[in-house]
A and B are shown apart, each in its own frame.
Chain A
Amino acid sequence: MNKIWLVIQREYLARVKKKSFLLATLLTPLIFPAIMAIFVWIAVEEKENQSLRIIEVVDDNKLFFLESSEQYAFSFSDRSIDEAKELVKNGDRYGFLHIPSFDLKSPQGITFYGEENPNMNLMSYLESSLKKKIEDQRLYETGIDPKIITDIRTSVDIKSIMLDEQGGEKVSNATVNYAIGFVAGILIYMFIFIYGNQIMQGVIEEKSSRIVEILVSSLKPFQLMMGKIVGIAGVGLTQLLIWIVLIGGLTTIVTGYLGMQMPQQQAMEMAQAGMEQVPDSGVAEILQVINGIDFVTLVACFVFYFLGGYLLYGALFAGIGSAVETPSDAQQFMLPVTVPLIVSYMGLFVFILQDPNSTTSFWLSVIPLTSPIAMMGRVSYGVPFWELALSMSLLILGFLGTTWVAGKIYRIGILMHGTKPSYKTLWKWIKTNN
């Protein structure tokens, strides 16, 4: 036991002390907000610096009036097509939109001329404005006032409440649950892949540099393998913890800064305006939903599946690493590891987040190889206790199983040099007693 602890310490410190770890840990939480900030900044800059683009519109129907937007202004005239084209060529107009006379039931022949390829934004803006105008026109012709239609349009928002066994009520929201399942599932998926690979690399390093021969003369191969797996898990948890603290801290600082920037009055007004316009929806509801989530269960489940999934796959990664001599040789054995991971990843999006209570979702979240990712997609929606218990016990069994198999391969694999094993030899190693 004492020796496993030494291995854990070494594996942990060797990685945590690396500069690359420090960089990755500190920069990752900054990179995403930074990229987003840059995009927002560029977009804002572009909007501000952009001169208003004037578009010449020749409407043979004399029916449509397009409203100018921040970026585009429309000038209407009776110019001939050639004249209008000339304007574009001279650079007097950004583009020229020709609306030929057509039957309103099947509008055809609307054409945009421009010096450069028009962007998506503009095209969809033009298309949607025209569509609306044509629809309005047709309504008008059938004798309905378009204003009535606008009046009739209603937005519906269903508030869903979950009844629990104790008779309590919880406000739930599919979007929030979706987001939680999505983030948790992806985090576990990435963690397994990144740190599983680290285990494999570590094992290959020890094997190919022959350190392992000295190590196994001092402790049992199984102790070495478990020490490595647990040590690297510690690295991952440390990283996760630092990220949570950093992101939490950053968010506080940023919101605090924005709050300071905003004059009190304005903030008050905004809050009031918000209250009046969208009573009991949006932010308020999200807050209500978040209050309704059982965070203790959620966090406990996350930690359990995070570690369980990692340990289950970590053992497999260690076993593969022990059987090969270079990372490139490992490719041939990666299939049994990557396939279930990708299945659970795809399953998360295709089945679980769409319908968390379907049969497929149930099986994906119970089978140990897929449950760590799949179950996290379901937890926030609420999972019956027995399913959770079944899934967890199977995961523990699965972990014991993969560790047992990996241990068998590892014990023989780390001392084998010069031969490239196949699945058949691995199977032989598993069956060997000694």
Chain B
Amino acid sequence: MLETQKLNKSYGTNRALTDLDLKVNKGVIFGLLGPNGAGKSTLIRIINQIIDADSGQVFIDGRPLAPDHISQIGYLPEERGLYKKMKVWDQMLYFARLKGLSQIDAKKRINLWLDKMEMSTWKEKKIEDLSKGMAQKVQFISTIIHNPPLLILDEPFSGFDPVNAEIIKDQILELKSQGTTVILSTHRMESVELLCDQVAMINRSQKILDGTIRQVKNSYRPEVFQVTVDHPVKPIPAEWIAHEEDGSYHFTLPLSGKTPNELLGELMPYGQISRFQEVIPSMEEIFIHQVKSTKHE
């Protein structure tokens, strides 16, 4: 769906993107991760043709980025904005028309979405009279109103209460099931694990890792296992630093070059093993670890 090749951008002496290569497959939810100032917004702005890259190229469906791609992208920026004095209906119509929908199509689709999100009664309300959550919903609908095959959402859940965040999450998943490709830029790792199929992490203008969630997690396994032994028949070695709870001993062991089965074999003589589980890092841990380690370089 989307591919970038050797994308570079700098502001004065600040590098915002360095030789960035990305490949986003069609119909996936792609998590774009990175700390503030890493270059995510710059990348998103380049894809949206708000700014131009210094060098490198962006392809959408194999075609270099062109003005007519605008109507195929829905963009929800991190900093939301609506005209405070405009009515919900007028506002949606304006955004939809700017994305190239005809008047008739735009009206049809707005009605559809307002019904779907149970917002029809707000039509004539001004944005300034809505709560923050309601305004966010209006903004979300305005983003997807033209049914774009590529959706770019920058921190989509910020500003939503849990109930509304759930509604938005469901909408994103539904759009995905209809074939929409979603780029999700966020630092909320729990939503990344829940939603994303593919991720890329950017730090200090460079991509530091990418792949599917499983691939990323696998490559960052510390190869450590959590073990619980119930009522051991012989004493647990002190260097394993086990702690006891109702006769069960919990501790973690590194593989240290062995296979998991070999390790398990070594443990069996100690007694009944009720747990033997590999430690899988959360995306959050990988994120923090990566950001820290690139900082130290």
Distance of A214 Cα from B70 Cα, bound (Å): 11
B94 touches A10 (CB 8 A): yes
Q: Report if A415-B81 is in contact (Cβ < 8 Å); known contacts: A218-B95, A218-B98.
A: no
Answer whether residue B85 sits at the interface, using C-beta atoms and an 8 A cutoff.
yes
Q: How near does chain B come to A72, taking the closest CB pair, in angstroms?
A: 59
- Min CB distance, A201 to chain B, in Å? 12
Chain A residue with Cβ nearest B84: A209
B146 to chain A minimum Cβ distance, whole angstroms, is 9
A24 interface residue (CB < 8 Å to B): no
Is the pair B80, A218 in contact by a Cβ cutoff of 8 Å?
A: no
Decide: A210 and B97 in contact? CB cutoff 8 A: no
Q: Give bound CA distance, A6 to B85, whole Å.
A: 17
CA distance A213 to B52 in the complex (A): 15
Is A217 an interface residue when CB atoms closer than 8 A count as contact? yes
Asked if B75 and A14 make an inter-chain contact with CB atoms under 8 angstroms apart, the answer reads no
A189-228 with Cβ < 8 A to chain B: 205-206, 209-219
Given A209-B84, A211-B83: A217 touches B48 (CB 8 Å cut-off): yes
A209-B84, A213-B81, A217-B73 known; A6+B52 contact, CB < 8 A: no
Q: Cβ of B99 < 8 Å from any Cβ of A?
A: yes
Which residue of chain B has its CB nearest to the CB of A216?
B50
Contacts of A415 in B (CB 8 A): 45, 50-51
Contact A213 B84 (CB under 8 A): no
A89 contacts partner chain B, Cβ-Cβ < 8 Å: no
Q: Which B residues are CB-close (under 8 A) to A206?
A: 81
**A328 contacts the other chain (Cβ, under 8 Å)?**
no
List residues of chain A with CB within 8 A of the CB of B70.
217-219
Query: In the complex, which residues 101-143 of chain B have their Cβ closer than 8 Å to any Cβ of chain A?
Result: 142-143
In this complex, the interface size class of chain A, counting residues with CB under 8 Å from chain B, is 20 to 34
Q: Which residue from chain A places its CB closest to the CB of B53 in the assembled complex?
A: A434
Q: A216-B50, A218-B99 are in contact. Are A210 and B94 (CB under 8 A)?
A: no
- Which residues on B sit within 8 Å (CB–CB) of A138? none
User: B242 at the A/B interface (Cβ < 8 Å)?
Assistant: no
User: Could you tell me which residues of chain A, from 1 to 43, have a CB within 8 Å of some CB in chain B?
Assistant: 3, 6, 10, 14, 18
Known contacts A209-B82, A211-B82; is A434 also within 8 Å of B99 by CB?
no
Chain B residue nearest in CB terms to A412: B51
Instruction: Kindly state the separation between the CA atoms of A18 and B85 in the bound complex, as whole angstroms.
Output: 10
* Residues in chain A near residue B143, CB distance under 8 A: 214
B95–A214 contact, CB under 8 A? yes
Contact with A along B47-70 (1 / 0, CB 8 A): 011111010000000000000001
Contact A219 B52 (CB under 8 A): no
B239 within 8 A of A: no
Report A-chain residues with C-beta under 8 Å of the C-beta of B94: 6, 10
Q: In which size bucket is the chain B interface?
A: 20 to 34
B241 within 8 A of A: no
Instruction: Give min CB distance, A295 to chain B, whole Å.
Output: 40
Whether the Cβ atoms of A434 and B52 lie closer than 8 Å is yes
The reply to whether A3 and B77 form a contact with Cβ atoms under 8 Å apart is no
Residue B79 interfacial (CB < 8 Å): yes
User: CA separation between A216 and B86, bound complex, in Å?
Assistant: 19
From 8 to 58 in chain B, residues with beta carbon under 8 angstroms from any chain A beta carbon are: 45, 48-52, 54
Which of the listed residues B75, B142, B143 has the most CB atoms from chain A within 10 Å of its own CB? B75
With a cutoff of 8 Å between Cβ atoms, the chain A residues found around residue B80 in the complex are 210
Output the nearest chain A residue to B79 by Cβ-Cβ distance: A210
Q: Is the CB of B97 within 8 A of A6?
A: yes
Question: Given the complex of chains A and B, what is the CA–CA distance between A18 and B99 in angstroms?
Answer: 26
Residues from chain A with a CB closer than 8 A to the CB of B49 are: 217
**Pick from A6, A14, A213, A218: contact of B86, CB under 8 Å:** A14
In the assembled complex, the CB of A120 is this many whole angstroms from the nearest CB of chain B, namely: 50
Whether the pair B50, A209 counts as a contact (CB closer than 8 A) is no
- Minimal Cβ-Cβ distance residue in A for B80: A210
Chain A residue numbers with a CB within 8 Å of B54 are 434
A217 contact set on B, CB distance < 8 A? 48-50, 70, 73, 75, 77
Q: How far is the CB of A116 from chain B (nearest CB, A)?
A: 54
- A209, A213, A219, A434: the one within 8 Å of B98 (CB): A219
**Inter-chain contacts of A14 with B (CB < 8 A):** 83, 85-86
* Residue from A10, A205, A214, A215 with most neighbouring chain B CB atoms (10 Å): A214
From residue 249 to 278 of chain A, which have CB atoms closer than 8 A to chain B? none
Most buried by A among B77, B80, B98: B98
Question: Is the CB–CB distance between A210 and B75 below 8 Å?
Answer: no
Which residue on A lies nearest to B143, using beta carbons? A214
Inside 8 A of A6's CB, which chain B residues have their CB?
94, 97-98
Which residues on B sit within 8 Å (CB–CB) of A219?
70, 98
Contacts of B50 in A (CB 8 A): 213, 216-217, 415
Which A297-321 residues have C-beta < 8 A from chain B? none
Name the distance in Å between A289's Cβ and chain B's nearest Cβ.
Answer: 48
Q: Which residues of A sit under 8 angstroms from B75, Cβ to Cβ?
A: 214, 217
Q: How far is the CB of B273 from chain A (nearest CB, A)?
A: 56
Q: Are B86 and A214 in contact (CB under 8 A)?
A: no
Q: How far is the CA of A10 from the CA of B45 in the complex (A)?
A: 25
**Contacts A14-B86, A209-B84, A434-B52; is A214 near B97 (CB within 8 Å)?**
no
* A 217-253 to B, binary, CB cutoff 8 A, 1 in contact else 0: 1110000000000000000000000000000000000
Q: Which residue of A lies closest to B52 (CB)?
A: A434
B39 CB to nearest chain A CB (Å):
15
Contacts A10-B94, A214-B77, A218-B95 given; 9 further ones with Cβ under 8 A?
A: A6-B98, A210-B79, A211-B82, A213-B50, A213-B79, A213-B81, A217-B73, A415-B45, A434-B51
List 10 contacting pairs A-B, 8 Å CB cutoff, sorted by A. A14-B83, A14-B86, A210-B79, A211-B83, A215-B98, A216-B50, A217-B50, A217-B77, A415-B51, A434-B52
Closest 8 CB pairs of A and B: A210-B81, A211-B81, A210-B79, A218-B98, A217-B48, A213-B77, A209-B81, A217-B75
